[in-house]
Amino acid sequence: MCERFSVSRFTIRNAMAELEAAGLVERRKAIGTIVKALEPETAYVQTFQTVEGLLQYAAGTALDISEMIELQAGAELAGWFDLEEGARIVRLGGLRSETETGRKFCWTEIYIRPEFSGLLEHVGLDDRPVHKTLEEVFDEKVQKVELELSACMLSGKRAEQLEIEEGTAALRVVRQYSATDGRVLEVSVSDHPEDRHTFRLEFSYETLVS
């Protein structure tokens, strides 16, 4: 192939890697490379126009912050923010409810870096998300949002706050907001009782190789 196309082995290897990534060829041990398809595969691509699209909370809900405390970061919190264990972290906590019915939607805890502790004076003055207030007050910019979904059980104080039975299954949504320089600015953890939130993803086809 190098002789036929007058290119280096490096170029051939890169070309074969792209063909494999597109699903056109497959490399098999002791057999070699075989052709799988004549047209490139398509991939599902998830796209959000705004961070708010990632939150996916319907209009008509509001977050009521009722807890604002400073605490020492344990191993997990320190890891999120790349801080020393025991470092000071600010935590906000509150219930998100349906504004018309008052039905409890989820319990949310929001953790922010210690240098943003002055944010507490600005949270709750309007209906903006906390990360938007943080961006404006501290002249920061959220560059990336990472989202993690998991199942959990709610009991004790959380169950009481959400007016549910002990041991009710819930969807836990963790969102991590990072700045352009990679610093994690904010982490939010929201627990939704099993019947109170549906997380919907929409995908579209995008060709891997044009």
- Which pLDDT value is given to residue 52? 57
Q: Cα separations (Å) of 16 from 1, 33, 39, 71, 204?
A: 11, 9, 15, 53, 26
User: Where are the chain's structural domains?
Assistant: 2-40, 51-193
Query: Which of 42-46, 54-58, 146-150, 170-174 is the least confident region?
Result: 42-46
Band of pLDDT at residue 69, cut at 50, 70 and 90: confident
Q: What is the pTM of this model?
A: 0.68
- Which pLDDT value is given to residue 42? 54
Rama region for 4: left / alpha / beta (φ>0; ψ in -120 to 50; rest): alpha
- Which pLDDT value is given to residue 28? 79
Span 24-28, average pLDDT = 82
The DSSP string of the chain is -HHHHT--HHHHHHHHHHHHHTTSEEEETTTEEEE--SS--EEEEE--SSHHHHH-PPTTEEEEEEEEEEEE--HHHHHHHT--TT-EEEEEEEEEEETTT--EEEEEEEEE-GGGGGGGGTTTSSS--HHHHHHHHHT--EEEEEEEEEEEEE-HHHHHHHT--TTEEEEEEEEEEEETTS-EEEEEEEEEETTS------EEEEES--
| Digit-coded pLDDT (tens) for 132-146 | 889 999 999 998 888
- % of the chain surpassing 70 pLDDT: 83
CATH topology of domain 51-193: Chorismate lyase (3.40.1410)
Question: Is the per-residue pLDDT at 153 higher than 90?
Answer: yes
Highest-scoring range by mean pLDDT, 80-84, 114-118, 199-203: 80-84
